[in-house]
Amino acid sequence: MAMVNRFDVYLINLDEQVSKDAKNTRPAVVVSPDEVNNNLNSVIVAPISSTNARYPTRVPVDFLNSRRFVILDQVQTIDSERLVKRVGALDREAQVRISECLLELFA
């Protein structure tokens, strides 16, 4: 697997069984630190949605020419095999807002 970096956005495979023909995928941003991503076979991700529920743990980002929301109250650890395809990375401003929200959430 290619190097996975914090704040990269991937399509993740949510199928019960991991296979090359993923049917149930959704975008998610990697929130685990690069040291974790490069040394373990798992990553921590937060799903991305186009729906705004207006919670303090939903961080608005501009991604793929659209307003989306990183759902930090639904972070989960997944096996790296579930990373289907890298679709981009979040900009610096979004990275800062996500980091601040995670700090507040887990402090």
The pLDDT tens digits for 1-11 are 568 999 999 99
Query: What pLDDT is recorded for position 56?
Result: 87
Task: State the Cα–Cα distance between residues 58 and 72, nearest whole angstrom.
Answer: 6
The mean pLDDT of 21-26, rounded to a whole number, is: 77
| pLDDT of 107 higher than 70 | yes
| Per-residue pLDDT band at 22 (split at 50, 70, 90) | low
CATH topology of domain 8-106: SH3 type barrels. (2.30.30)
Query: What pLDDT is recorded for position 6?
Result: 97
For 25-37, b where at least 16 C-beta lie within 10 A, e where not — what string? eebbbbbbeeebb
pTM of the model: 0.90
Query: What pLDDT is recorded for position 45?
Result: 97
Boundaries of every domain in the chain: 8-106
Residue with tokens 């980002």: 61
Task: Please state, rounded to an integer, the average pLDDT across all residues of the chain.
Answer: 91
| Per-residue pLDDT band at 18 (split at 50, 70, 90) | confident
Task: State the Cα–Cα distance between residues 67 and 47, nearest whole angstrom.
Answer: 14
Query: What pLDDT is recorded for position 40?
Result: 93
